[in-house]
Amino acid sequence: MKAKIVITPKKAVLDPQGKTVQTALEHMGYDGVKAVHVGKYLEIELEGDAESWQPKIDEACHKLLSNPVIEDYHFTIE
């Protein structure tokens, strides 16, 4: 069982990496790229049942894995 966590920069936060990747994609000829956001992906291998991990992973995301001031997160446990 794994928790799969995706962390992305909040909309209001400057994302120069995303902008740079977007420009690169445009230069490569990919038309219609509206925006790129560069974030993080974490996988945490777990044992036990998914339901009891749900609040714990949420807490870990809030306290350590993301910074709520600058980032949003979402995750699945499967």
Partner 1 sequence: MRFAVLQFPGSNCDQDCVHVLSNVLGQDADYLWHKEESIGDADAVVVPGGFSYGDYLRTGSIAQFSPVMNAVKAFANAGGLVIGICNGFQILCETGLLPGALVRNRSLQFRCETIYLKVPTTDSPFTSEVPEGKLLRVPIAHGEGCYFAADEALAKLRANDQIIFQYATETGELTDEANPNGSLLNIAGICNEGRNVCGMMPHPERASENVLGVDDGRLVFESMLRHLEAKTGVGQAVTAEA
Q: Contact residues for partner 1 (CB under 8 A)? A: 9, 12-14, 16-17, 20, 40, 64-65, 67, 69-70
Kindly tell me which of 49 and 70 has the beta carbon lying closer to partner 1: 70
Structure tokens at 3: 């928790």
Q: For 74, how many CA atoms within 13 A lie in the half-sphere containing its CB?
A: 1
Minimum CB separation from partner 1 for residue 61, in Å? 12
Kindly tell me which of 38 and 50 has the beta carbon lying closer to partner 1: 38
